[in-house]
Amino acid sequence: MICEPALRESVQSLPDALLRMAGYHFGWWNPEGIPCRAGSGKALRPALTLGTAAMYGAEPAAIAPVAAAIELVHNFALIHDDVIDGDPTRRGRPTVWAVWDVPAAVLLGDALHALAVRVLAAHVPAGEAREAIDRLESAVIEMCRGQQEDCSFDGRHPTSVLDYERMAMGKTGALLGCACALGALRAGAGATAVSAMDRFGRELGMAFQYTDDLIGIWGDPGVSGKPSSDLARRKKSMPVVTALHSNAPAARELDGFYRAEAPMSQADIARAAVLVDAMGGRRTTQHHADRRIAAALAALPDRPAATDLITLAHNITHRDR
């Protein structure tokens, strides 16, 4: 990851206790601080920042701090999401809150958010820093809105496809849009190009979320490094929302699983997955992902330099983790 030196430099400025937790979360060392090389994620967002900037002729070294700031915000959100969802594992290892505790994880997330702003303030020229920080913090607010809406989607209240799309745009699309917009901004592209790249990233983010939703039901936890089926947590992902609104007779049975109080058994989870698939949840969600990829590509400028971003976009919907 090109931005890792800038990421490490910023994280090293944290107080010792926060530094140890941060390095563990990024996979640089174990809970005792002994160096190791664990999984550190896909680095999709910094790749988008760097790829966008390169498309407009910028050198990677000049963009690396901006990419690092984006990755810091992404990981602040991941740490908080793990707390909110009660997920005990990420990237095949115990989450920060599971190793330390919930207050420690919340504070670490807050610290990574603050670091991101400090990195932009320190490394982006004054003429651009205000817009860069404003875009980043606006994305964070939108992410928080999306996360809050996601938390409100429970099994006892109906959730429409439009509700879900609005939530996903905030929770996932906003930061990918910001990642691309900041790459264009830092590369000196004009306002029209910055807006176009924001749209590209947002559409790509929606496709990314829909693919995550498919993996959350039909993926292999041993490959993804994430907890098992979203169905066990009665998560209202796009395949489930689509199935519940299918008007098929099986929708009532699926709704019963989501409204029940008792934990779902493995047999219940398997049955629910069959129901979602039979009512078109998997097929329709893949269609939505493909449609969003097409919209993302349509937002790109027509130039050969966009090849890497095009390849990255197609890889989004053809992954297993």
Q: What is the CA radius of gyration of the chain?
A: 20
What is the distance between the alpha carbons of residues 152 and 168, in angstroms, rounded to a whole number? 13
Q: Is residue 321 part of a domain?
A: no
What does the pLDDT read at residue 223? 65
Q: Left, alpha or beta for 58 (phi > 0: left; psi -120 to 50: alpha)?
A: beta
User: What are the backbone dihedrals phi and psi of residue 280, each rounded to the nearest 5 degrees, phi first?
Assistant: 85, 10
Q: Is residue 36 part of a domain?
A: no
Q: Is residue 247 part of a domain?
A: yes
DSSP 35: B
What is the distance between the alpha carbons of residues 152 and 172, in angstroms, rounded to a whole number? 16
What does the pLDDT read at residue 233? 87
For the domain that residue 8 is a member of, what is the CATH number? 1.10.600.10
Are 242 and 279 in contact, with CB atoms under 8 Å apart? yes
Other CB atoms within 10 A of residue 29 CB: 17
pTM to 2 decimals? 0.92
Cα 77 to Cα 85, 142, 172, 192, 249: the distances in Å are: 12, 12, 10, 29, 38
Give the DSSP H/E element, type plus range, for residue 94.
Answer: strand 93-94
Q: Is residue 163 part of a domain?
A: yes
Q: Is residue 35 part of a domain?
A: no
Per-residue pLDDT of the chain (321 residues; tens, 9 = 90+): 788 999 999 999 999 999 999 999 999 999 998 988 877 678 899 999 999 999 999 988 899 999 999 999 999 999 999 999 898 998 889 999 999 999 999 999 999 999 999 999 999 998 899 999 999 999 999 999 999 999 888 655 667 899 999 999 999 999 999 999 999 999 999 999 999 999 999 999 999 999 999 999 998 876 655 555 789 988 899 999 999 998 888 999 999 998 888 999 999 999 999 999 999 999 999 999 999 999 999 999 877 888 989 998 988 878 776
Q: Is residue 241 part of a domain?
A: yes
Q: Is residue 202 part of a domain?
A: yes
For residue 303, what are the domain limits?
Answer: 4-28+41-316
What does the pLDDT read at residue 261? 87
Residues pairing with 93 in the sheet? 90
What does the pLDDT read at residue 226? 58
Name which of 195, 198, 260 is nearest 232 in CA terms.
260
User: What are the backbone dihedrals phi and psi of residue 296, each rounded to the nearest 5 degrees, phi first?
Assistant: -65, -45
What is the distance between the alpha carbons of residues 87 and 81, in angstroms, rounded to a whole number? 8
**Count of the separate structural domains present in the chain:** 1
